[in-house]
Amino acid sequence: MSSLPRTVGLLALSFALLSLVACGSGPKDGDASVAEPIAILAHQHGQQSEVSFPAVKHITSAEQFEDLGLAGAEPAVFDTEDMVLVALGQQNTGGHWVRITGLQRVGDSVYVQATVNRPGEDAATTQALTQPYCIITTPKLGDVELRSDITSVVGMDTPAE
């Protein structure tokens, strides 16, 4: 069996993840003293959603949340809370996952720190379409620009709950 489709898929995933990372993403060394951590109030993740393309999104309403079609996820109380989503888009196999590891405010920007995994080359995976996502609940963020600070790993086990 040819590994060409798998190679093309891995290249597409790598390109998509790299496109999520803004040029010069992540707070600069000189910015470290002004970076303010943002509390993560709730953390949810899953493998099925209506988000078919890689995305980093700021969700501020129940309508926006419902449009995401996140299987098993509960909405925030949008009067006092917001949500931040990192989605990997549609993947051809299991073994992909994403976890948001932190949020940092620098001025009007919020850096979304996350780790994404793709299965190793020889990993046994489910052969099913998935749309992995992680969504967190935060206090209201206001009008901010999200910037992604994403670390990509290969062949790691899914983190414990």
Name 138's Cβ contacts closer than 8 Å, sequence gap at least 6.
38, 39, 40, 41, 81, 82, 83, 84, 103
Report, as ranges of residue numbers, the positions in the chain whose pLDDT lies below 50: 1-2, 4, 7-8, 10-11, 15, 18, 20-24, 31
Q: What is the pLDDT of residue 123?
A: 85
pLDDT score, position 6: 52
Look up the pTM and report it.
0.79
Contacts of 97 by beta carbon, 8 Å cutoff, 6+ apart: 45, 116, 117, 132, 158, 159
The SS3 assignment for 105 reads: strand
Predicted local distance difference test score (pLDDT) of residue 34: 86
